[in-house]
């Protein structure tokens, strides 16, 4: 059905195209904020649900492996957040309700909130709360799905639907959407780590020291 070599090429091209649209100033802003928190003796927190939660946990792991004190919100060992700490959030929509509550709570405690999202800051709930926003734009590829019914529960999520697509349309969407926001945000984690490292005096050797050895 699919040409695997073409699928692989599309996967890499989609990520490269997406990352090329990310604003470098936004990356600099989040990297500087993370470094500032660490350099001043404060802590890094991460929060997110689903795929976005997995992606932000990896960013937290990256930060821990260059010597930072990192906690994931919801883990039993996560302490209270305080002024000077930073909460890193990933939310594809920027509208995840429970994460928006966490963002508000972090701000109330005087912490900095940074959001990585697929929507612009003024287009999401968390984006308007966050002190720092990094937008990972969604590619505008072929999308043959019919318009969403505004009366549909949660815009169709959790409901079994049939878009009525032809086989050719499904194949094209497979190539176009083989990678998207989450995969690009995952790759962005490594870029952020590289930008943070010189700001805190970390070296390429450091992850070998801080890497997990209880395995």
In whole angstroms, what is the distance from residue 169 CA to residue 10 CA? 16
| pLDDT tens sequence across 52-103 | 999 999 999 999 999 999 999 999 999 999 999 999 999 999 999 999 999 9
* Nearest Cα residue to 95 out of 137, 127, 64: 127
- What average pLDDT is seen over the chain? 94
Q: What is the CA radius of gyration of the chain?
A: 19
CA distances from 7 to 12, 20, 105, 165, 183 (A): 9, 20, 42, 20, 14
Q: Hey, where are the domains in the chain?
A: 23-138+180-206
| pLDDT tens sequence across 151-161 | 766 666 777 88
Q: What is the CATH number of domain 23-138+180-206?
A: 3.40.50.10490
In whole angstroms, what is the distance from residue 58 CA to residue 66 CA? 13
pTM for this prediction: 0.93
Among all chains, which residue has been given the structure tokens 């926003």?
Answer: 133
**Confidence check: pLDDT of 182 > 80:** yes
């Amino acid at each position: 059905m699919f040409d695997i070599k073409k699928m692989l090429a599309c996967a890499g091209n989609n990520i490269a195209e997406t990352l090329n649209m990310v604003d470098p100033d936004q990356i600099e802003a989040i990297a500087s904020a993370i470094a500032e928190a660490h350099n001043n003796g404060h802590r890094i927190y991460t929060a997110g649900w689903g795929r976005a939660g997995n992606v932000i946990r990896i960013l937290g792991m990256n930060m821990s492996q260059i010597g930072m004190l990192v906690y994931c919100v919801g883990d039993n060992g996560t302490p209270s957040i305080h002024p000077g700490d930073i909460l890193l959030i990933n939310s594809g929509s920027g509208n995840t309700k429970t994460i928006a509550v966490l963002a508000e709570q972090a701000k109330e405690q005087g912490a900095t909130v940074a959001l990585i999202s697929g929507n612009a800051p003024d287009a999401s709930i968390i984006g308007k709360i966050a002190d720092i926003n990094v937008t990972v734009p969604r590619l505008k590829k072929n999308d043959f799905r019919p318009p969403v019914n505004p009366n549909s529960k949660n815009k169709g999520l959790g409901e079994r639907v049939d878009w009525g697509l032809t086989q050719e349309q499904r194949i094209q969407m497979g190539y176009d959407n083989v990678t998207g926001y989450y995969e690009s945000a995952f790759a962005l984690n490594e870029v952020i780590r590289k930008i943070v490292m010189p700001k805190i005096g970390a070296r390429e050797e450091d992850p070998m020291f801080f890497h997990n050895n209880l395995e």
